[in-house]
Structure 1
Amino acid sequence: MAELPMADRHETVLPPPPDAAREALASALATDPDTQLTALSAVVADHPTLVAGWAELAARGREPIERYAYARVGYHRGLDALRAYGWGGRGFVRWSTPSNRPFLTCLVRLQRAAQEIGETSEVERIAGFLLELDPDWDDANLS
């Protein structure tokens, strides 16, 4: 497939999540750290398309494979959302747009978890994908 010039690439902006999902996530994040994983799991069970919820689960998984699984689901939920809003497999999804950050966060957390389990080729693919999505990508975006 021929590479599209930068000026011809579509920029996709995801909408913010519904208020109820955002409020439930904030409540779960405000719980005691010992119960956060359970609280976040309940939120995601109620709002399975909430990519930010999957990103939070990926940050709190107990084992590398658990973090990987949460990040992978969030990444795929994010791809579904991107496609629903016009992304056709190419184009920009920028970190500078706050509503895009949960998807990009899942992608970075997937990369980190892949590194933890030794999936070197996936780590490299994700690094390239991040730069395709946002040519201004900086790994410091998500510390």
Structure 2
Amino acid sequence: MTQLKDMLAPPPVLLPAEELSAPVSAENALDLALVHPASPLVWATVAESALAQLEGDLAQQKVFAYACARTGYHRSLDRLRANGWKGFGPVPFDHVPNQGVLRAIAALARASAVIGDQAEYDRCRQLLSDADPACVASLLD
């Protein structure tokens, strides 16, 4: 069977690599956030680390994780729009520079679930699915 290509669909967004002063890790992400506050990858890493360290029902930890994830999400939208994204269309996860953006969106979904905001979780999950359906299982499930 022949697959039809949607000729009106936008081309995939392929972001340029982020220029960071060091490789990003859970250990240095907070410091890098002060040097590179516009980096979705840095904020995604901070949020992922905060989510991984949640203990019990500590509101302060949940709010910190959510705030970092929300910051990463907004920095991701800024980066996507600056590179031609119009609010829809493919953002392939296999293009390494796109991964920080998609990880930040996933971190917001996970942090939203932690604070009980199911509607925001659902919106972020749908955004990931619209961007690259193949990444949803690895980032959220």
TM-score (norm 2): 0.80
Number of aligned positions between the proteins: 127
Alignment map for 1:93-112 (pairs within 5 Å)? 93-112=91-110
Q: Distance in 1 between matches of 2:140 and 2:23?
A: 19
Stretches of structure 1 that go unaligned for 5 or more consecutive residues are none
Per-residue deviation, 1:71 = 0.9
Gapped regions of structure 2 (runs ≥ 5) = 54-60
Runs of 4+ in 1 over 3 A off after TM superposition: 135-138
Q: Which residue of 2 aligns with 1:70?
A: 68
Q: Which residue of 2 aligns with 1:120?
A: 118
C-alpha distance 141-42 of structure 1, shift in aligned 2 (>3 A)? closer
Does the CA-based 8 Å contact 1:40-1:56 persist in structure 2?
yes
Q: Give the direction of change, closer, same or farther, for the CA distance of 1:135–1:56 in structure 2 (3 Å limit).
A: closer
Of 58, 83, 86, the residue aligned with 1:85 is: 83
Note the aligned Cα RMSD (angstroms). 2.0
Q: What percentage of residue pairs aligned between the two structures are identical?
A: 31
Deviations 1:47-66 (A, max 9, x none): 11121110111012251211
Find the counterpart in structure 1 of residue 34 from structure 2. Answer: 45
Cα distance in 1 between the residues matched to 2:33 and 2:64: 15
Matched residue type, 1:98: V
**Equivalence for 1:14:** 15
Q: Residues 140 and 40 from structure 1, CA distance in 2 versus in 1: closer, same or farther, beyond 3 angstroms?
A: closer
TM-score normalised to structure 1 length: 0.79
Q: Which has the higher helix share?
A: 1
